[in-house]
Amino acid sequence: MTAPPLDVAVVGDNTIDRFLDDAERGDLVGGNALNVAVQLAMLGLRVGYFGAVGTDANADIVREAARERGVDVSGLVALPGATALTTIRRDADGDRRFESEDFGVTAHYRPDEEALRRIAAARWVHVGMLPGARAFGDALARVSEVPLSQDCSVSPESPRLAVHFASAGEDEGEAEQTVERALAAGAGLAVATLGAHGALAGRAQTRWRVPAEPVKVVDTTGAGDSFMAGFIAGRLRGEDVEQALRSGVERGSFTCRYRGGWPQLPADVDRFG
């Protein structure tokens, strides 16, 4: 029997997140794209992840972690080399800082024709960090009109974006400029996150602005990825732009309450998983 089409196909990076400031935490699994995929699966959507791991011991850790959270990892391929590794340090307020990033084989991943066929059949496609993002967007546009969103803070902008996501830090002026640039480049909708100040979205001359939700921050790792997942899930549920922004903010705030891009430590799984 043929499997039903995916609700969302997520394409791009994964990594081992190595926390240097917390011996209890140690290594977790993350990455822009994989964080989005897992959060979407946690929200009840049928999600496929398309990316690459290496031929080292970390490969199985990434694969099993995603599978355990309900992500279809049949599109996860193994390439000769190392699985990506990111070292992270948090400050006293829980804000994370990347100490180093070794992209490993994720820097060489390109979906093949079979992967592209499966991706194109999804209801929505999201791209995280993907070095060949523009070429991928061109290839997808030739075979499908599926809505395409992208984290343009980590990948060069693809053509025909339904939603352009980007981070503006906490700078309101930069957020507006980010939205204007994305719309001028042809995005259907542009969304700029503002961290603790919420998010801004724009289409033509219309703007939507929502505040952040108050939360006691444990760790900001993956909060932006979770925002994107919440927004995408909201749009697929039929929410308008403002409500989808609120769904995104809610999911980002949720993620700040535990350690890592999704609940992986036993205590966090028990409370939030």
Q: Cα separations (Å) of 50 from 28, 109, 115, 251? A: 19, 9, 7, 22
Which pTM was predicted? 0.95
> In sequence order, what DSSP letters do the residues of 178-192 get, joined into one string?
HHHHHHHTT-SEEEE
Number of other residues whose CB lies within 10 A of the CB of residue 2: 4
pLDDT digit string, tens, across residues 224-239: 999 999 999 999 999 9
Helix (H) or strand (E) holding 236: helix 223-236
Q: Facing residues of 125 across strands? A: 9, 148
d(CA 28, CA 38): 13
* Residue 205: both structure tokens together: 């001359």
* pLDDT tens track, the chain, 273 positions: 567 899 999 999 999 999 887 666 679 999 999 999 999 999 999 999 999 999 999 999 999 999 999 999 999 999 999 999 999 887 766 677 778 899 999 999 999 999 999 999 999 999 999 999 999 999 999 999 999 999 999 998 887 899 999 999 999 999 999 999 999 999 999 999 999 999 999 999 999 999 999 999 999 999 999 999 999 999 999 999 999 999 999 999 999 999 999 999 999 999 998
Q: Is 243 exposed, middle or buried, given 0-12, 13-18 or 19+ CB atoms closer than 10 A?
A: middle
- Enumerate domains of the chain plus CATH numbers: 9-268 (3.40.1190.20)
Residue 77, SS3 per DSSP: strand
d(CA 20, CA 91): 11
